[in-house]
């Protein structure tokens, strides 16, 4: 968990912005109606099935594969909605002007975050078994930082994209703080892990500092401070429910 002074630096939309790009899946601190949140329901559905099947916690690779598959399912759901409107998505794809692929961010912070994820994955494989709760948090967090910073570092085209970049960076910052806390918890339980995690903690601290300087302190008229113990959530939610997602 981030400290209270870290939480006070975070912001949430003062207008509706779709929550999925900046969701960190910390559901207990989000104000979205869980009965209408697709990400929450898929998260709980996946967790339940893994427990029933005795599969245990997912590996980092399995988490990435699931995120990719969820994105494909979401695309199919949108195509179904287009068909319900009497349109053919395949025809629309052929008739649409071909857009150039969006360039990947070349910002050095993204490369550093990618290296951090690899280091954390190796650390969890080697030392995570005796610390299941912390290992689970680390597996979830290490998939967040680089992709979110990749989006945050893209050149914004308008104020909505500027707000989105700040929210993306906040997810990365929150994930870094949570993972640092998990490592510290493991070190308190097993002091011999201190040397193995020292470089990881140093890199996390440096990345958090850069995020605070580049994004958390940046003004934005579309965002308002988070107050109290409530994590960010949009003003309203238009998410389809799980029954519309799983076919």
pLDDT value, residue 246: 38
Distance CA 36, CA 33 (A): 6
Backbone angles phi, psi at 225, to 5 degrees: -65, 145
Q: How confident is the model at residue 238 (pLDDT cuts 50, 70, 90)?
A: very low
Please state which of the ranges 6-10, 36-40, 51-55 shows the lowest mean pLDDT: 6-10
Q: How confident is the model at residue 205 (pLDDT cuts 50, 70, 90)?
A: very high
Q: Is the dihedral of CA 205, 211, 217, 223 positive or negative?
A: negative
Q: What percent of the chain has pLDDT over 70?
A: 78
Unique residue bearing structure tokens 């994930």:
175
pLDDT value at 135 more than 90: yes
**Tokens linked to 75:** 């695309």
């Amino acid at each position: 968990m981030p400290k209270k002074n870290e939480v006070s630096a975070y912001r949430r939309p003062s207008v509706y912005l779709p929550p999925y790009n900046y969701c960190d899946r910390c559901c207990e601190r989000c104000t979205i109606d869980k009965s209408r949140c697709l990400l929450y329901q898929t998260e709980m559905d996946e967790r339940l099935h893994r427990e029933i099947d005795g599969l245990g916690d997912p590996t980092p690779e399995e988490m990435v594969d699931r995120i990719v598959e969820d994105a494909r399912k979401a695309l199919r759901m949108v195509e179904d909605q287009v068909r319900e409107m009497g349109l053919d998505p395949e025809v629309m794809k052929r008739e649409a002007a071909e857009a150039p692929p969006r360039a990947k961010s070349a910002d050095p912070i993204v490369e550093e975050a990618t290296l951090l994820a690899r280091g954390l994955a190796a650390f969890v494989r080697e030392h995570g078994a005796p610390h299941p709760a912390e290992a689970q948090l680390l597996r979830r967090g290490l998939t967040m930082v680089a992709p979110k910073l990749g989006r945050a570092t893209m050149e914004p085209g308008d104020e909505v994209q500027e707000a989105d970049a700040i929210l993306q960076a906040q997810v990365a910052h929150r994930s870094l703080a949570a993972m640092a806390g998990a490592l510290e918890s493991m070190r308190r339980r097993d002091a011999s892990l201190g040397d193995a995690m020292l470089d990881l903690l140093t890199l996390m601290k440096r990345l958090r500092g850069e995020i605070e300087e580049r994004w958390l302190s940046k003004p934005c008229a579309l965002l308002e401070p988070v107050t109290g113990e409530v994590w960010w959530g949009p003003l309203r939610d238009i998410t389809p429910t799980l029954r519309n997602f799983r076919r």
